[in-house]
Amino acid sequence: MNRTYRMKRFLTVSVAMAALGTAGAAFAQSAAPQDDSAKVEDVVVTAQKRSERLLDVPMSVTATSGEELSNAGIGSTSNLQHISPGLVTVNNGFAFTPAIRGISSVGTSAGDEANVSMYLDDVYIGAPLAGMFDLKDIQRVEVLKGPQGTLFGRNATGGALRIVTLAPSFTPRAELSADYGFDFKQVKLGAYVTGPITSTLAGSLNLFHLENDGYVESVAPVLNGARVAKADNSSIRGKLLFQPNDTLQFTLAADYSDRSDNSIFSAIPRDGKNLNASTPGVLVGSLDHYPGGTFPIIDTTAKGVSLDGTWNPSDYLTVRSITAYRSASGLFQTDTDRSSAAVSSLRLIQDQDTFSQEFNFSGPSEDRLSWIGGLFYYRSTAGNPYFQAVSGNAPNGTVVSNFTDTVKTTSYAAFGELNYDFTEKLHGILGARYTSEKKQFDFADIVRAAGLRTSSAENTWESPTFRGVLQYDFTPDANIYISASNGFKSGVYNSYSLPAIPVAPEKITAVEIGAKGRFSGITMTAAAFWYDYTDIQVTAYTSLPGGAYVSTLNNAAAATVKGFEVSARGNFTDHLSFDVGLSALPTANYDEYTTASVFIPNPITGGATSVVPYDASGSRMLRAPKYQANARLTYENTVAGGELYATANLSYNDGFYWQAGNLTPESSYTTINAKAAWTDPQGRLTYSLWVENLTDERYSMNSTNGAPGLSDAFSPPRLVGVGIAAHF
């Protein structure tokens, strides 16, 4: 037994025993008055479509305020894994595919959707390519773990990410901010203003821009030393809040973002080899030198408009309508041979337009019987209007494969939950959902020798899902619960190849036992869970001419997940607070996966990899680390008449596998972000000093497979910066 293993086991057991032991003490005693200095401010969430304390929600939820995200250096959705153990956020270049407790999507086909649903102000983000965006004017982010669907418009097997932005205020407020990171010249600018327009109308506007020079240098002669892994992102969001009376409220919101960030495609061969390894100037094994001869491009635009209306006609009924249109488009270009030689590359456009309508009806939550019901309609048109595999460097090489496709999705659902108080302490929840979803697939493949090949198909999938909960309150601040639920992810078509064979839906059954409590000013949660995951949509690989590969989906696996999570937050003193969490997945294995296909590197320098069949039964699920942990310390005090704020955020990931069969491992890594800020006595100016990735930890953000072998896009190096903000 080595020292690293003993350290991990000691940390796991210590944190679990401390949290559960303290929770047990809270459950065994009646609530007693606490000293004011020991109190922790209640976190209020809407994870169950109503405002309630996080402490009272009978499910695993991580909630983080916008201020906490900013101070922890969490600037985009890709970094949310650093504040929520159990969540792994991965951007494969074509799509944002988060994983919660090992449940994730690996597909990039148009029309495919993530196992973890994402909501922006309760509007479903259907396009995975639009899931990567910067976090600004954020009120809070909620990470809901486990199958979802009885309360939300869209169904999900893994969980949900709920991003809630700031609502317009009738109190005037404005802020201007600027930050500069020295190491690769990163500039971040922000502006936010809100206030009344009339006595019943308020508005808000947020502007954001981020750019840098990139942290990777290209070494292929054809690119002339161009910098890659660089960003140039801009966005705008506006809101209008109309409150004509006490019973009616409307929020009209519109947003637009333009992102250019090619860091995921700025990959290097994992084993230090490529198809042109003898080319002078290609640096083997360097994290910050890109050997490809094709300039990587990931350019995405997203826009949307929504109208959210709430009407309270009586004390016994609330009606809510959420109408939304969203559109996203992306241009992608990548070197698939990872060398300066003109061997193979890929260039494509993917876009998606969605319309959604959700109606919610709810009764008063104060009654013994409360309820919420909803209807959901979703329509999406997604496709690749342009997809080319190129022999040579894109965009000027010889086209060897060229196709276009479209997937149309139409989904209807009805859902709801009943909440019943059996006694003052014992509560029950029963929820149900029924989903009907149709997908239509059209494909045209232009093969130069054989001419045009086309295919069309459609299919409909239907499924009921359920959720049941029993919750017992020992005191107003301590409870235990047990829940059982199941989830459903619709079928999909492989949009990259013929014939048009549908991939069947995947299903999950989940059981969770949890406890939440507050004792001596410390808020604690603990949960143990078990998943039975079947008909998993997994990836197989198809080779293209020139050495490129295309991933396709099929149903070929079943898995079992068992684990637990604990968290605690509170105050050491009046000025020093903490927040810690741990997620453990001792079991996250494929029970049956006999038809896996994996990439096996050729040991000969300069050789290509081979795709081979593989029996991955019994192996670890993808992107499912055994342990994840986070810890945050925050110090606040009055210094020189102003307010001093200092925080440090640590995130630990035990490592995982990128390929089935326990292949392509990602080593464990730890990141630390820190920030110190001082606001002047008048509250007008805030000066800050910050560092992201303090220890200069380099881990793989994404690992890809292809002709040269396995390639990794590495995280940014340490970035030190300063900032200033003006408040009005």
pLDDT single digits (tens) 140-170? 999 999 999 899 888 899 999 999 999 999 9
What is the pTM for the complete model shown? 0.89
CA–CA separation, 302 and 326 (whole Å): 7
Whether residue 679 has pLDDT greater than 80: yes
Q: Which two tokens stand for residue 286?
A: 């360097």
In this predicted structure, what is the pLDDT of residue 451? 63
The residue with tokens 């929020």 is 251
Summarised one tens digit per residue, pLDDT across range 232-272 is 999 999 999 999 999 999 999 999 999 999 998 888 877 65
CA–CA separation, 606 and 603 (whole Å): 9
Q: Are 643 and 678 in contact (CB under 8 A)?
A: yes
Q: Which whole-number Å values give the CA distances from 151 to 87, 360, 466, in the listed order?
A: 21, 9, 11
- Which helix (H) or strand (E) segment holds residue 109: the answer is none
Q: Are 631 and 647 in contact (CB under 8 A)?
A: no
Summarised one tens digit per residue, pLDDT across range 264-300 is 888 887 765 544 443 444 444 467 888 888 889 999 9
Sorted by where each starts, the structural domains of the chain and their CATH numbers stand as 3-727 (2.40.170.20)
pLDDT-based confidence at residue 392 (cuts at 50, 70, 90): low
CA–CA separation, 95 and 327 (whole Å): 15
**φ and ψ at residue 418, rounded to 5 degrees:** -110, 130
CA–CA separation, 43 and 176 (whole Å): 27
CA–CA separation, 678 and 684 (whole Å): 11
CA–CA separation, 282 and 301 (whole Å): 33
Summarised one tens digit per residue, pLDDT across range 476-507 is 999 999 999 999 999 888 776 667 778 899 99
The residue with tokens 């990899």 is 609
Q: Are 633 and 647 in contact (CB under 8 A)?
A: yes
Percentage of the chain exceeding pLDDT 90: 58
User: Which class for 24: exposed (0-12), middle (13-18), buried (19 or more C-beta within 10 A)?
Assistant: middle
- Highest averaged pLDDT of the listed ranges 18-22, 70-74, 513-517, 596-600: 513-517
In this predicted structure, what is the pLDDT of residue 250? 98
Whether residue 552 has pLDDT greater than 80: no
Mean pLDDT confidence for 335-347: 73
Q: Are 268 and 700 in contact (CB under 8 A)?
A: no
CA–CA separation, 432 and 373 (whole Å): 10
The SS3 of residue 223 is helix
Q: Closest Cα to residue 706, out of 547, 551, 496, 552?
A: 547
Q: Report which of residues 345 and 31 the model is more confident about.
A: 345
Count Cα neighbours of 438 within 13 Å in the Cβ-side half-sphere: 7
The SS3 of residue 604 is coil
CA–CA separation, 669 and 238 (whole Å): 38
**586-588-589-591 Cα dihedral, nearest 10 degrees:** 110
Q: Which two tokens stand for residue 384?
A: 């690749």
| Count of helices and strands (H, E) across the chain | 2, 43
Residues facing residue 120 across a β-bridge: 123, 163
